[in-house]
A and B are shown apart, each in its own frame.
Chain A
Amino acid sequence: MNCTRRSFLKGGLATLFFGGMPLPGLAEKNNKKNIIVILLRGGMDGLTAVPVISDPALKSLRKNIIIENTLPLTSDFALHPKLKTFHELFQNNQASVIHATSIPYTGRSHFEGQDLMETGSLTPYSTKTGWLGRGLGLSDNRFNSLALALPMPLILRGANNNNNFYPTDLRVPATVVLEQIKEIYELHKEEDLVRNIDLILNRPLSMQINYKNLHILSKVAAKTINSPLGPNVAVFDIEGFDTHSAQGDINGKHAEHLAEVDTVISTLRQHLKESFDNTIILTVTEFGRTVSENSGRGTEHGYGSAILMAGGLIKKSQIYTDWPSLKQNSLFEGRDLQSTTDARSVYASAMATVFDLDFELIKKQVFWNEDIKDLSSQLFRS
């Protein structure tokens, strides 16, 4: 590549992009409902994000990594200080927390756990589609999705209209060339590749940028969602929650990644504008972390964690939990926060709300009629 690549940039942004795609109409007022999932890989520690303040056990088990200067939520729970926007939304009835929750997986493996958080299944590697993808499929693929990630996340597989956006500073070939390649793909019955070329050919202006950070990705997601034919599902992917060491307190690695979650939420709120009122943002993680800190000022893989939710479709600010306590005999296997709410109940209820589908249908078709509960009326506005 011998330095040739960057020279493409000389022409400035205007020369960089794909030509000849239809522009979306000016954003009209639209009432479509949106669901935005933020995948938190590595095992997000619910007790760092939303520490319980009424249980003195936490402080004694986490002497070096306890969060000080927390933001107040309720008499029992507080919020990590890096979640500033989330806190503001909580005060305006636009954010809530499900605590002591997890997918029903206790194996403590990232790879199995991440497979299951995305497929919604009980058996690792047994399902090739994601719960969000199946939900989209159930709504007759009326809706599109956008992943803000380079590989297409498993959670969206199973839907017909998935797109992704994770820009690079490279120049895409001219339309005629893309069309010729598309013809070859059609001839070879390469359906997925044909679709990709179509999506590339039809990218809106908002996606024609050549650099990225979470702020930009969130802004593009919001603008794309706001266009009338835009997606109503978006998926972000944030890594790095696996803090076996140097988890830190208000400035450690967990804090940095929570700040990223807050950036996504705050940018989405700013650029979704009125659409924020019709949106559910929710976090998904594979498991929580041990209640006690380890010798490296970190935590090990655990079980129960928390789901952070924001958006105008949140019913009210609340910590929704059947709190299991941190007493030794209440901990899962004597070490982890218990899960008292199947996270899939929350996922299914959010999809029922956004896709206007019957909860029972989702339960049956997306989650194999497993024992999950309809929490729609407790958690969301219809």
Chain B
Amino acid sequence: MSKGFYRKIAFGLGLNENPPSDPLGWALSQLDSVQDIDLMNAPSLNEQLEFFSKMREVEDKLTVQFKHSAVEYEEARQKNYNKFGTGFYHPLEIHIRHKAALTSNQPVFERMYHFWTNHFAVINTNTLRDHAIGPYQREVIRKNLTGSFNELVKQATTGFAMLKSLDNERSIGPNSAYVRKKKSHGDYKRAGQAALNENHARELLELHTVSPNAGYTQQDVIELAKVMSGWRPKYRKEDYPDWKNPVHFDSFYHEPGEKNILGKIYNTKDSPVSPKDELFQVIDDLCNSVHCKKFISHKLCRYFIDDNPTPDMVEYVIRAWNASKGQLPAIHKAVIELAYNNPQYNRKYLMPETWLLQSAKILDIQYLLSEKNFWNHDFDTWPRAQYEISHTMEDLGHHPFIFKQPNGYMDQEKEWISPEMTIRRLAYAKIFYDDVDYSHKKKSNIKEYFESVVYKNFDNGEEIIKDLFSIKRITSDLFTIFLNRPEVLRV
């Protein structure tokens, strides 16, 4: 076995951790349960939406109060943002995510969690970033990683953040009860404006399930948009979310009738389906299709093993998928087995967040604030210290809550090897040095410290140590050089 295994499927072995006696068993045993994580007193989605709603209500009042002074309005608005935790909560969510990765006794599960939060990327808007993406990942994605893939897709698709970001609330069936009512009231303008929004339907096909390899057409996208019409965030009034019940299926906006998707007709007269269940029936069929299994299995192998996984690897995962009827633990385990049994694949270039977390784990870099320090905030001013982690993730080009595209971050090395990306890792390696305990880095201990890090995590430990200490360097430079070695950047 390669010692790289611990980094390939987890974050490496920490300074005080001993290698497990049965590495494969250790890894596989982590995938059957969802570990409770330290939530650092973070609000739930419902609580977040309550803050957001109240923030908007105040903001609306400020618009009236300061209508004569744009400057005073801006000042008051910023104060309102501070009060409701803009710029505070998403750094808290990064802390929760990173703390789980670094301190968990199921780090393999955490890596899978990172894969799926990237797969179900929610495009960033400031509102979603601050109030919804973190809870979406924790409450929807994470909780569904020990059931079936089908169930995960159903929950991910109907989650508040996903519905909101992909505009499904704007999708209205052209023959829906809503349109019929408008017409009957003579409101032809509103009736005419109502239309399907294809955005979410397209991404459900393209990114989340079958991929374009399934050969779906524009008409399939439209038909799926019909199926999805009516699934929407719920509002109390205007755009204030109903925080107690943020998502609902409202058949008022749903397009009635048959739908034909990829050659199969849903909701026929002979076999009617309730409007709400139509989507779940379609998702089951999409998830069970060979295109979906192939697409997801390939993506998992590419993420964990190599930029160019072999057809055999993909086939191995598909077999586990079929045998388990799509149970995620079985699928995940197949990927871990492939990683374990193919140590010759050791050139996967790590994405920046994984590199950061591995660096922190193996070198015992303490960059996170404690819960107490994090909450040591007055909510009158901008949370400067708390926000620092968000800056870091943006600098590294890999912020887990700022997705610019719904396809998430690419996992191939060509995306990440550029002069600017290299600068980021060089510079941050040096910054990490500041967050390492003095007892490790004082002159008399430094070699021993690196030896204990390197020998358990790398196959060529002696070579790395010899190289590192062959030239006299100041201690911080040792961190820069070590963390930018090819063996550390890749695994």
Contact = CB atoms under 8 A, between A and B. Distances in A.
A4 B415 contact: no
B467 A294 contact: no
A163 B467 contact: no
Given A181-B484, A184-B485, A333-B218, A296 B422 contact: no
Interface stretch (B155-163, B311-319, B427-435): B427-435
Contacts of A168: 395, 420, 423-424, 427
Interface in B447-491: 467, 471, 473, 477, 480-481, 484-486, 489
Given A1-B431, A170-B428, A180-B481, A152 B418 contact: yes
B424 A5 contact: no
Nearest to B412: A128
A152 B414 contact: yes
> Which 10 pairs between the two chains have the least Cβ-Cβ distance?
A170-B427, A296-B170, A152-B418, A196-B422, A188-B486, A199-B419, A4-B434, A295-B193, A196-B419, A150-B397
B106 interface: no
Interface string A138-157: 00000000010011101001
Interface in A149-192: 150-152, 154, 157, 162-168, 170-174, 177-178, 180-181, 184-185, 188, 190, 192
Nearest to A166: B420
Nearest to A239: B404
A223 interface: no
A1 B212 contact: no
Contact of A301 (B198, B416, B480): B198
15 contacts: A3-B388, A108-B218, A109-B212, A110-B407, A112-B206, A124-B212, A154-B414, A162-B418, A165-B420, A167-B420, A199-B419, A245-B170, A294-B195, A296-B167, A300-B198
Nearest to B409: A151
Contacts of A213: none
Interface string A331-355: 0010000000000000000000000
Contacts of B391: 1, 5
Contacts of B422: 193, 196-197, 200
Contact of A170 (B167, B389, B424): B424
B194 interface: yes
A20 interface: no
A104 B393 CA distance: 37
A200 B426 CA distance: 11
B423 A170 contact: yes
Given A2-B369, A173-B430, A151 B202 contact: no
Contact of A5 (B212, B397, B431): B431
A178 B471 contact: no
B419 A244 contact: no
Nearest to B221: A108
Contacts of B172: 295
B367 interface: yes
Given A124-B212, A168-B424, A196-B418, A5 B392 contact: yes
B37 interface: no
A163 B391 CA distance: 24
Interface string A107-148: 111111000000000001000100000000000000000010
A177 B363 CA distance: 20
Given A245-B170, A294-B195, A185 B486 contact: yes
Contacts of B407: 110-111
Interface string B378-409: 00000011001101100101000000110100
Given A1-B389, A196-B418, A177 B486 contact: no
B489 to A, nearest CB: 8
Nearest to B464: A184
Given A2-B434, A111-B206, A168-B427, 10 more contacts: A2-B369, A110-B407, A150-B418, A165-B420, A170-B428, A173-B427, A174-B477, A178-B426, A184-B481, A300-B197
Contacts of A165: 419-420
Given A151-B397, A177-B477, A184-B485, A2 B423 contact: no
A5 B388 contact: yes
A151 B416 contact: yes
Given A172-B423, A185-B486, A333-B218, A244 B170 contact: yes
Interface in A256-304: 294-296, 298, 300-301
Interface string B186-202: 00000001110111001
B194 A200 contact: no
B336 to A, nearest CB: 27
Given A109-B212, A168-B424, A151 B485 contact: no
A180 B477 CA distance: 10
A9 to B, nearest CB: 12
Interface string B213-237: 0000010010000000000000000
A126 B369 CA distance: 45
Contacts of A162: 418
Contact of B170 (A188, A193, A294): A294
B207 interface: yes
Sort chain B's interface into a size bin: 35 or more
Contacts of A128: 414
B388 A2 contact: yes
Most buried by B among A108, A164, A177, A296: A177
B367 A1 contact: yes
Contacts of A166: 420
B417 A3 contact: no
B418 A147 contact: yes
Interface string A1-30: 111111000000000000000000000000
Nearest to A157: B414
Contacts of B481: 177, 180-181, 184
B323 interface: no
Nearest to B430: A173
Contact of B199 (A6, A167, A244): A244
B239 to A, nearest CB: 11
Contacts of A239: 404
B435 A1 contact: yes
A1 B388 contact: yes
A18 B69 CA distance: 46
Contacts of B290: none
Contacts of A124: 212
B421 interface: yes
A173 B426 contact: yes
A1 B410 CA distance: 26
B485 A177 contact: no
Nearest to B392: A1
Contacts of A41: 405
Contacts of B206: 109, 111-112
B291 to A, nearest CB: 14
B431 A170 contact: yes
Interface in A180-238: 180-181, 184-185, 188, 190, 192-193, 196-197, 199-200
Contacts of A197: 422
A178 B367 CA distance: 25
Contacts of A3: 384-385, 388
Contact of B486 (A2, A108, A152, A184): A184
Interface string B303-336: 0000000000000000000000000000000000
B416 A200 contact: no
A152 B480 CA distance: 23
Nearest to B476: A173
A6 B488 CA distance: 26
A278 to B, nearest CB: 26
A126 to B, nearest CB: 12
Contact of B423 (A5, A184, A200, A244): A200
Nearest to A240: B404
